A = this chain, B = another copy of it.
Amino acid sequence: MAKKRPVATARKPKVKLSPRDKKTMARLTDVADRVVRAAKARRDPHVDIPSRTLSNVHYSARKKIIEMGNNKNRRKLFDLSQAKAYMRTVLVSSGCKRLLDQGKTTSLRGMYYMLKHTIEGSRENTFDTQNESDTIIEDVEVMLGSLREELHLYAQKKGDLVGNITINDSGFDIDCSRMGSGGYGIPSIVEPEVIKLDRKKCHAKFVLHVEKDTVWQRFNEDRFWEKHNCILTHGGGQPTRGIRRLLHRLHNELKLPIYCVLDNDPWGYYIYSVIKQGSINLAFESQRMAVPEAKFLGLRSIDYDRCELSDDVILAMNDNDRKRAKQIANYPWFAKKRPWQSEIQRMLKNDFKLEVESLISKDISYVTEVYVPERLSARDWLD
């Protein structure tokens, strides 16, 4: 009954590679060349993979981002405990090469399906779950120093954008001030080959990033971005890499400050932390995704008093919230900042959380007409 998959016939490259694809391709083919070189020299083939454990991650106070250290793990073909991981690494590299050859991209799940098969003459599968291929993809990213996006892999799409900017996406000029209520759906891959940003086509003076799409809809309906000449984005919760990379590019290439409006809870702090410094899991991409200068506009733990909110709109903290808040207070980039320490201490003292939507209890448009404009004009934010 069981059917074997026919061996994939490699298509000839159909496309002209971009300069960046050429660079990535050189790195990918080097993985294969090294197997050949090792074989010819009668050495055991191996790859060295920078270690993605917490112990190999540190915070660079100078660059203000999370960085990876220099620890590497050697993955050998002729080592029973490493052979499978070694072969998977080469397999994923070859899968990415196929994508570049064809000038196509696929999803993480697509790559899993592309590569999943039973090794001939055995009962061993290359991968049994997508988790396994996802992990190897991260290994390949960090081994080659190529972002997943450069390997032509995309993830789920999240987030929308409106505002005073014209973005060129795949050759089309998209005037984001004329997107109505829907907005421009932020793609998963926003690398310069796809998304071109041009200072001359951006009139906005800053980016306002909000946590949730429902809050974004409020800001868009009130045409906040028009009144305040900005760009409005949301990340549907924790922003994807695509969104963070776009914020990074808007900040670095167009020199736009990034202001965040997030919930007053540990999750909101964490979202800010990831936008600002990068994530611990994926420290290797911080350099191209983190925005150390991003500002935290709110909601602040003082807002219960400052905005005269009622007890009707507070949310009780649980043990996990308290634990997370304390952990975040100890992050090196918050630990030495007094304003952040008081912010988090105040939340713990409050012993409640506040969502951005709680401001609706003041007025439907309080957040867009009062809260954010006041913070901006007073330059009142955490850094």
Q: Which residues of A contact B (CB under 8 A)?
A: 1-5, 98-99, 102, 104-110, 112-114, 116-118, 125, 154-157, 160, 168-174, 178-189, 194-195, 213-218, 221, 236, 308-313, 355, 357-358, 360-361, 364-365
Residue of B nearest to A155 (CB): B214
Contact B172 A180 (CB under 8 A): yes
Contact B110 A5 (CB under 8 A): no
**How many copies of this chain are found per oligomer?**
2
Please indicate which of the listed interface residues A5, A99, A168, A180 has the most CB atoms of chain B within 10 Å of its own CB.
A180
The CA-CA distance from A105 to B364 in the complex, in Å, is 8
Contact B181 A361 (CB under 8 A): no
The 9 lowest CB-CB distance pairs between A and B, nearest first, are A169-B180, A107-B214, A5-B310, A170-B180, A185-B185, A160-B185, A181-B187, A172-B178, A182-B187
Contact B184 A364 (CB under 8 A): no
In the bound complex, residues from chain B placing their C-beta under 8 Å from that of A309 are: 3
Q: How far is the CB of A124 from chain B (nearest CB, A)?
A: 12
Contact A180 B171 (CB under 8 A): yes
In the bound complex, residues from chain B placing their C-beta under 8 Å from that of A168 are: 180
In the bound complex, residues from chain B placing their C-beta under 8 Å from that of A194 are: 180-181
Residue of B nearest to A3 (CB): B310
Contact B217 A107 (CB under 8 A): yes
Q: How far is the CB of A188 from chain B (nearest CB, A)?
A: 7
The CA-CA distance from A220 to B273 in the complex, in Å, is 33
Contact A310 B114 (CB under 8 A): no
Contact B185 A169 (CB under 8 A): no
Contact B213 A157 (CB under 8 A): yes
Contact A221 B109 (CB under 8 A): no
Q: How far is the CB of A138 from chain B (nearest CB, A)?
A: 18
The CA-CA distance from A201 to B260 in the complex, in Å, is 38
The CA-CA distance from A308 to B3 in the complex, in Å, is 9
A118-B311, A154-B217 known, 10 other contacts, Cβ within 8 Å: A107-B217, A109-B357, A113-B358, A157-B160, A157-B217, A174-B178, A174-B179, A174-B182, A179-B184, A184-B184
